[in-house]
Amino acid sequence: MASLYLHIPFCEHKCIYCDFYSIAPKETEENYDNLVQRFLTALDQEILIRGRDATFQSTYETIFFGGGTPSLLSPTAIGTILNQLSRSFSISDNAEITLETNPGTVDIRKLREFRSAGVNRISFGIQSFHEKDLQFLTRIHNADQARENVRNAYKAGFDNVSFDLIFALPGQTQELWNSNLEQALQLAPTHISCYSLIVEPNTPLHRMVEAKQVTPLAMDEDADMYEQTMSVLADAGFEQYEISNFAKPGFKCRHNIAYWNHENYLSFGPSAHSFWNGKRWWNLSNVNGYSDSLSKGTVPVAGEETLSSQQWFDETIYLGLRSEGIPLAGFERRFHKDLLKDFKTIIDGLLTDNLASIEENRLRLTSKGYLLCDEICRSFR
């Protein structure tokens, strides 16, 4: 199995907490429409170059449009990209094709056209159903738009609808967060991702915290909201298959699972990261540099690394424990170690403290263990 990722580096407005590479119109003196067109031309060229490389001959099971705000592109542009991918690569007939979407950028017509273009999974960046939260996060949509667009997605023919929510906002209470979860469930999504607010370096939020304009929520309150999330969504029939991701049966995100299982993935666009047979590389984080490189027929790689044995080990532990667990047989084949015997003291402690369990020949963290995932992973070093 292999996957394709496309980074669409444009936003109508940059949110205060986001550290992903993107450009908003006010951040460039160039004609914005021309910049977008240059990017699309370069993206087409990157797909062509990689498609000619025999290294990447595989069947691709998932395609993911991330960003940035991919839904700012027209359905015609998304359809053109998908057609180019189909001409350059072998795409599975039942491929999962996800488009990240900001509720402030679509209506039912546009959603229908995205569905007709080939997108079959929609992921809304809702973040909150409370106006005060949305204003603090500087989102461009309001709660009514979010609700309307989720309903419209179903009307438009999508049967796989996901959205993101953020908890542990400054001043947020458990009651307010529970209200978010309740409103989310009323919309009957098939998948929900719930993230704790992280203050990333070099973001407006980080500068606000340093200036003491914003006080992050205490860690114990953050943990309480996370436990609340796991409990509420489990009661609603969602399966937690990764620290932040919850799905109804049959609706786990196959693209994300590929990442967590160290499957091969090929990525396109500025700042996009790829991984293939133990080698990782990443593109230039600059639209103009990216476009200039491809106009000369050169792939815009900014850096690369080949995973060492220790990196493979550390990532296998971390990615496995934060998702659906570490397969014991697969671990032994790769590392020539018996996980249960070679780390007996650690694992016995996890089992005794109900932080982990062994199910279907996998070592997997419990809900209690997810709260301490980073600390547990470090104990295996």
Q: Is the pLDDT of residue 11 over 90?
A: yes
Average pLDDT rounded to a whole number, residues 316-345:
95
pLDDT of residue 364: 97
How far is Cα 42 from Cα 59, in angstroms, rounded to an integer?
Answer: 24
How far is Cα 262 from Cα 312, in angstroms, rounded to an integer?
Answer: 9
* Cβ contacts of 306 within 8 Å, gap of 6 or more: 278, 279, 280
- CATH numeric code, 2-260: 3.20.20.70
When the pLDDT of each residue in the chain is averaged and rounded to a whole number, the result is 96
SS3 160: coil
Average pLDDT rounded to a whole number, residues 144-151:
97
Q: How far is CA 56 from the centre of its chain?
A: 23
User: Per residue in 230-267, pLDDT tens?
Assistant: 999 999 999 999 999 999 999 999 999 999 999 999 99
Residue with tokens 């056209």: 113
pLDDT of residue 22: 92
Average pLDDT rounded to a whole number, residues 116-120:
98
Beta strands per DSSP E along the chain:
2-8, 59-67, 90-101, 121-127, 161-167, 191-196, 239-242, 245-247, 264-268, 273-276, 279-283, 301-306, 326-327, 356-359, 362-365
Q: Is the pLDDT of residue 295 over 90?
A: yes
How far is Cα 110 from Cα 101, in angstroms, rounded to an integer?
Answer: 11
- Whether 126 and 134 have beta carbons less than 8 Å apart is answered as no
pLDDT of residue 181: 98
SS3 27: helix
Q: Check if 2-260 and 309-378 are the same fold.
A: no
User: Per residue in 178-229, pLDDT tens?
Assistant: 999 999 999 999 999 999 999 999 999 999 999 999 999 999 999 999 999 9
pLDDT of residue 169: 96
Average pLDDT rounded to a whole number, residues 334-348:
95
| HEC-encoded secondary structure of 120-154 | CEEEEEEECCCHHHHHHCCCCCCHHHHHHHHHHHH
Classify residue 296 as exposed, middle or buried by CB count within 10 Å of its CB (0-12, 13-18, 19+): exposed
Q: Which residue, 76, 95, 87, is CA-closest to 5?
A: 95
Does the pTM exceed 0.85?
yes
What are the domain boundaries of the chain?
A: 2-260, 309-378
User: Per residue in 162-187, pLDDT tens?
Assistant: 999 999 999 999 999 999 999 999 99
SS3 245: strand
pLDDT band at residue 381, thresholds of 50, 70 and 90? confident
pLDDT band at residue 1, thresholds of 50, 70 and 90? confident
Q: Is the pLDDT of residue 31 over 90?
A: no
pLDDT of residue 81: 98
How far is Cα 211 from Cα 213, in angstroms, rounded to an integer?
Answer: 5
Determine the Cα angle at 17 with ends 311 and 215, to 5°. 105
pLDDT band at residue 371, thresholds of 50, 70 and 90? very high
Q: So what CATH class is 309-378? A: mainly alpha
Average pLDDT rounded to a whole number, residues 105-123:
98
Q: Is the pLDDT of residue 90 over 80?
A: yes
Q: Is the pLDDT of residue 47 over 90?
A: yes
pLDDT of residue 32: 83
Q: Is the pLDDT of residue 30 over 90?
A: no
Q: Is the pLDDT of residue 372 over 90?
A: yes
pLDDT of residue 28: 75
What Rg value do the Cα atoms of the chain yield, rounded?
21
